[in-house]
């Protein structure tokens, strides 16, 4: 008999259900008496003891369903060691519930913050297996996270739709793509959507370079331009500030997001009409694309195999198209960022895409 707890944590994405289905199906194939506890709303459910006993049928028909059937929440890692408002020791509560429910293992689907807590629980003695979830594709130790390609499709579609209206009106359009700390999603959607300028958190921009690129297009008789801008895009000037100075500057900033600031600067410096589009959380919604369904199923099956072999303390990741176990200690606390010197950036620059540097 195996009793396994499933938990989805942090921002949701399209392929969470497909991944849980992959784990569950493989476990049900192996054991006739496996019990799966669906821990509700991420670590919150583990802290406060909320779960639902799942049946095999709960995992049927969810391959194509976005979101997560067991809910999620954000529980910041840096506050995990702080007692809650009623003085509850959250880490102790999670360990107590794990033991009280008689779990053999905790299966955690999540992003970077989630992995820090998962690693902590593993170090505290719980059996933990994790799966890399995020539209940001920024988890260390895996070439690909599930959710990323589905989000690339949506962000690309937004840029595609903007193309026609931008061309008709001869306007500059900014499409703001999700990603505060890393720019994978913006980079891929930008290239796929044919953006002329791509601004990423990893490559601080100079507005003068952006304006120069726009003016070059004008001179070439191109009536419109499209910028794919990451939520976390940052100017060279701001990147040179200390954390404290940047925080104070941002607090005083009246723009709703970086794209609006860039938009105003472009309008003032070029006289061109600028419009901003923010697809926002649509990028995390809807059904998973076929690519995500495949890697979710593969990752899920591989995670179940680790449970069957009682090999705990690992994340399953994709490396050179093979699924491999990666020690949680290697994953936790590290971000996989876009390298400004990587070949994808060089190739994009070769295509004439401006990164504002
Ligand atoms: O981590 C996924 C992500 O969608 C980021 O790309 C984005 O910056 C953030 O979550 C948004 O968080 P929230 O849903 O809490 O607003």
Dist. CA 178–CA 278, nearest whole Å: 9
326 — pLDDT class (breaks 50, 70, 90): very high
Q: Which of 10, 11, 116, 150 to mutate to test the pocket of ligand 1 (most atoms within 8 A of CB)?
A: 11
Sequence spans of domains, the chain: 2-147+288-331, 150-284
Please give the number of the atom of ligand 1 that sits closest to the Cα of 284: 4
- Binding-site residues, ligand 1, Cβ < 6 A: 11, 74, 111, 134-136, 178-180, 231, 284
pLDDT tens, residue by residue, 103-154 = 999 999 999 999 999 999 999 999 999 999 999 999 999 999 999 999 999 9
Which pLDDT does position 290 carry in this prediction?
98
Between CA 135 and CA 335, with CA 64 as vertex, the angle to 5 degrees is: 15
Nearest CA to ligand 1 atom 5: 179
Query: CA 264: distance to chain centroid?
Result: 28
Residues tagged active-site: 136
Q: Six-digit token pair at 70? A: 């067991």
Distance CA 90, CA 93 (A): 5
Pocket test for ligand 1, best of 178, 187, 338 (most atoms within 8 A of CB): 178
Contacts for 71 with CB less than 8 Å, ≥ 6 apart: 8, 40, 41, 42, 45
Distance 31 CA to ligand 1 centre (A): 37
CA distance 176 to 200: 11
Which residues is 38 bridged to in the sheet? 6, 52
How large a percentage of the chain has pLDDT more than 90? 100
Backbone angles phi, psi at 142, to 5 degrees: -140, 140
Average pLDDT in the chain:
97
pLDDT at 292 over 90: yes
pLDDT band at 1 (very low <50, low <70, confident <90, very high): confident
Protein residue whose Cα sits closest to atom 11 of ligand 1: 11
Tell me which of 132, 136, 176 to substitute to probe ligand 1's pocket, judged by most ligand atoms within 8 Å of the beta carbon: 136
Which CATH architecture best describes the domain 150-284? 3-Layer(aba) Sandwich (3.40)
How far apart are the CA of 13 and the centre of ligand 1, in A? 10
Span from the CA of 264 to the centroid of ligand 1 (angstroms): 25
Residue 105 Cα to ligand 1 midpoint, Å, equals: 28
At 65-108, the pLDDT tens digits run: 999 999 999 999 999 999 999 999 999 999 999 999 999 999 99
pLDDT of residue 184: 98
Q: Write the class of the CATH domain 2-147+288-331.
A: alpha beta
| Helices 207-219 and 258-270: angle between axes, nearest 10 degrees | 50
pTM here is 0.97
């Amino acid at each position: 008999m195996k009793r396994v707890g499933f938990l989805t944590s942090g921002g949701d994405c399209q392929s969470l259900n497909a991944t849980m289905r992959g784990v569950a199906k493989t476990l049900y194939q192996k054991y006739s008496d496996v019990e799966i506890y669906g821990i509700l709303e991420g670590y919150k459910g583990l802290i406060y003891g909320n779960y639902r006993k799942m049946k095999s049928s709960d995992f049927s028909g969810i391959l194509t369903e976005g979101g997560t059937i067991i809910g999620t929440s954000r529980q910041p890692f840096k506050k995990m060691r702080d007692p809650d408002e009623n003085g509850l020791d959250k880490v102790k509560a999670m360990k107590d519930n794990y033991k009280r429910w008689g779990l053999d293992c905790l299966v955690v689907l999540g992003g970077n913050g989630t992995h820090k807590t998962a690693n902590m629980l593993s170090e505290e003695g719980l059996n933990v297996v994790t799966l890399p979830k995020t539209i940001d594709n920024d988890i260390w130790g895996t070439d690909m996270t599930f959710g990323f390609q589905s989000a690339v499709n949506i962000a690309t579609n937004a840029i595609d739709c903007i193309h026609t209206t931008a061309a008709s009106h001869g306007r500059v359009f900014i499409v703001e793509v999700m990603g505060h700390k890393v720019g994978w999603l913006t980079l891929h959607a930008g290239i796929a959507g044919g953006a002329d300028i791509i601004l990423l958190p990893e490559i601080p921009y100079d507005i003068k370079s952006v304006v120069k690129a726009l003016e070059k297009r004008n001179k070439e008789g191109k009536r419109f331009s499209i910028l794919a801008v990451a939520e976390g895009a940052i100017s060279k000037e701001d990147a040179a500030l200390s954390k404290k100075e940047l925080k104070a500057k941002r607090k005083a900033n009246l723009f709703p997001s970086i794209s609006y600031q860039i938009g105003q600067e472009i309008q003032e410096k070029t006289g061109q009409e600028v419009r901003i589009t923010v697809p926002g959380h649509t990028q995390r919604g809807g059904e998973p694309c076929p690519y995500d369904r495949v890697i979710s199923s593969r990752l899920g099956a591989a995670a179940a195999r680790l449970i069957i072999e009682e090999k705990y303390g690992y994340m399953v990741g994709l490396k050179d198209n093979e699924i491999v176990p990666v020690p949680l200690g290697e994953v936790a606390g590290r971000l996989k960022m876009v390298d400004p010197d990587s070949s994808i950036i060089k190739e994009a620059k070769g295509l004439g895409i401006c990164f504002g540097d």
